Amino acid sequence: MKIFEIIDEELNISIGVLLYYERERTFIIELQKNLDEWTAPLLFTSFVKRNIYTIPRAESLMWVKERIIPSGRQNIGDILTTHKMKSYDEMKFLEIAQGRCSQDSCFIRPLNSVPAFVEKRAKHNLTESVVLDGNRLLCFFKDTTVKIVVLDKLPYVDGLDLILKNPLLLRSCKIGTGGYCVTFNDSIDIPAWLLYKSGSLLPLSTADFACFVKRNIIDTADACKELTCSRQNLSYMIKQGFLEPLKENVKGNLYSKGDVLKNTW
């Protein structure tokens, strides 16, 4: 990850921090919380008015693109050759220009580490998220908090209606870069801060859940051992509906230990 401070040269203030995740080629901007609609970059004014200081990846990329040579420029091939670049790279062009553009007085400066305010804010980012029945998400956050989020009750999020109407799209849920969001089909994002704010707290920690999984999820070999039966007998029990795997795989299934043990009673 590359880290840059965004500075307004004219106002002589720090605007925030630009994070660049190299593998995913994703930008995230964390604004300083003391900004207002007059000191924040124009693109982020609407966010600051709503007290949102973590800028989503789409708008962060938009800010970057305002400051670099567009990929569709007619002589882009010659420009890439001049800078010894094999392909178009937003971050490379941003570094070359130091993040400067004619529209404002902002520029970027490399940092060696993530500032404390960004680290503190990132504690509300996600580590895991699982889709549950009833349009709910089980969310695990970096501060070890665990929450249930009912998607139907979230404030307006662009594309949320599509998620709720399409079970396949809902099941495509995964954690976005840096845990800053959950993303569906890598195109519709719900920010982590909104999930944290809207979710109902569970009296459970990430460590508790991990402990449950380690002690209560068993594979085919362990299931056979608990039932003192062969794999063929186990397969028969599954076909008869006495046992249902949590997850099926050609190399073996996973089972709830409690579900297995009830067949010994």
The answer to whether residues 21 and 107 belong to one domain is: yes
The answer to whether residues 91 and 134 belong to one domain is: no
The answer to whether residues 188 and 221 belong to one domain is: no
Both structure tokens of 204? 């459970």
Q: With bands split at pLDDT 50, 70 and 90, how would you rate the model's confidence at 117? A: very high
Q: With bands split at pLDDT 50, 70 and 90, how would you rate the model's confidence at 210? A: confident
The answer to whether residues 193 and 223 belong to one domain is: no
Residue type, 108: I
Cα separation values, 146 from 182, 219, 236, Å: 15, 26, 38
Residue 265: predicted pLDDT: 57
Q: Which of 62, 94, 115 is the last residue of a domain?
A: 115
Residue 264: predicted pLDDT: 66
Both structure tokens of 102? 């004619």
Q: What is the DSSP letter of 247?
A: B
Whether the model clears a pTM of 0.75, i.e. scores above it, the answer is: yes
Domain extent, residue 187, equals: 123-204
Q: Which of 204, 228, 245 is the last residue of a domain?
A: 204
Q: What is the pLDDT of residues 245-257, one digit of tens each?
A: 988 887 788 998 8
**In this structure, are residues 98 and 64 in contact, taking their beta carbons and an 8 Å threshold?**
no
The answer to whether residues 194 and 243 belong to one domain is: no
**In this structure, are residues 257 and 214 in contact, taking their beta carbons and an 8 Å threshold?**
no
Assess if residue 57 is contained within a domain.
Answer: yes
Q: Which of 155, 171, 204 is the last residue of a domain?
A: 204
Q: What is the pLDDT of residues 155-171, one digit of tens each?
A: 889 999 999 999 999 99
**Run of H or E including 132:** strand 126-132
Using CA of residue 33, residue 37, residue 40, residue 41, what is the dihedral sign?
positive
Domains of the chain: total: 3
Q: Is pLDDT above 80 for 86? A: yes
Calpha distance 71→75 (Å, rounded): 10
Taking all residues of the chain, what is their mean pLDDT, rounded to a whole number?
92
